[in-house]
Amino acid sequence: MSYNLLKGKKGIIFGALDSKSIAWKVAERAHEEGATFVLTNAPVALRLGSISDLAEKTGSQIIPADATSVMDLEHLIDESVKILGGKIDFVLHSIGMSVNVRRGNHYTHQDYNFTKKGWDVSALSFHRMMSVLYNKDVMSEWGSIIALTYMAAQRVFPDYNDMADNKAYLESIARSFGYYFGRDKKVRVNTISQSPTPTTAGSGVKGFDGFLHFADKMSPLGNATALECADYTITMFSDLTKKVTLQNLFHDGGFSNMGISTALMDEITMGNTAIENSKSDSKEEPKK
């Protein structure tokens, strides 16, 4: 269902790799809601992924940009303003990558060159992107900037590794830069903290399937899907949320306020009973 929420709005969407990407769903929904936008991703991702299918489907142009390069971002933003024919109303930062996670380095034994790279790509890129938008003065008044994050910024999820620290940094940038963007340009900046979602980045985390199940059972509304995240992001780009800024917005079916759910308690109790039964079975005297 579409509501024309973004009719006439212009945007830039970072991070659509393939049809599972959250950014891909945001692009599809933004198109349905009447927006025009430029798609961007790192040059290597453009070669590996299938973003040209998305560009064709949504009538968008693709401009490569490595989010760790100011030069690339300046080029992207200059070209986007030309292509879209004016200032930008919304920007999605949907970028994350940890080399330590990819290489299987434990949190307590990081390779700090990898740590720096992951931080540069996943967190500092948000500052860099906003700095270029701010200094070129290309955001429209009442525009909206969103980055995607995860609750490991607040609570311990061991296998999320150094991405937890990157997300904490990312969320802090949203508040700090959001202040200047709000005060000087009337632009809002927020992060959306999404449920675990089966995408390329998400599935890279060790034990992801088990964790997906755990989060789903813990959340009264169940895990939020990528499409549901896209729907929420669209409302944050629309004029219906003009005074929401400097927030970390949980989009997680209620997970972030839970302690324990009956569904998980039942699973734990069943698991304990099965363990007890197998212990008492193994203690039985062998039949003669």
Ligand X SMILES: NC(=O)c1ccc[n+]([C@@H]2O[C@H](COP(=O)([O-])OP(=O)(O)OC[C@H]3O[C@@H](n4cnc5c(N)ncnc54)[C@H](O)[C@@H]3O)[C@@H](O)[C@H]2O)c1
> Which residues are at the interface with ligand X (CB under 6 A)?
15, 17, 21-23, 41-42, 45, 66-68, 94-97, 121, 148-150, 194, 196-197, 199-202
Which residue, 154 or 200, has its beta carbon nearer to ligand X? 200
Q: How far is the CB of 121 from ligand X (least distance, A)?
A: 4
Distance in angstroms (rounded) separating the CA atoms of residues 277 and 89: 61
Q: How far is the CB of 120 from ligand X (least distance, A)?
A: 8
Which residue, 257 or 280, has its beta carbon nearer to ligand X? 257
Distance in angstroms (rounded) separating the CA atoms of residues 95 and 203: 15
Q: How far is the CB of 97 from ligand X (least distance, A)?
A: 4
Which residue, 178 or 196, has its beta carbon nearer to ligand X? 196
Which residue, 34 or 249, has its beta carbon nearer to ligand X? 249
Which residue, 36 or 40, has its beta carbon nearer to ligand X? 40
Q: How far is the CB of 13 from ligand X (least distance, A)?
A: 10
Q: How far is the CB of 170 from ligand X (least distance, A)?
A: 8
Spatial strand order of the sheet with 61-62 comes to 61-62, 36-40, 10-14, 88-93, 139-149, 188-194, 248-251
Please, is 182 exposed, middle or buried when counting C-beta atoms within 10 Å of its C-beta (0-12, 13-18, 19+)? middle
Q: Nearest residue to ligand X, using CB?
A: 202
Q: How far is the CB of 280 from ligand X (least distance, A)?
A: 40
Helix (H), strand (E), coil (C) string for 39-68 = EECCHHHHHHCCHHHHHHHHCCEECCCCCC
Which residue, 62 or 186, has its beta carbon nearer to ligand X? 62
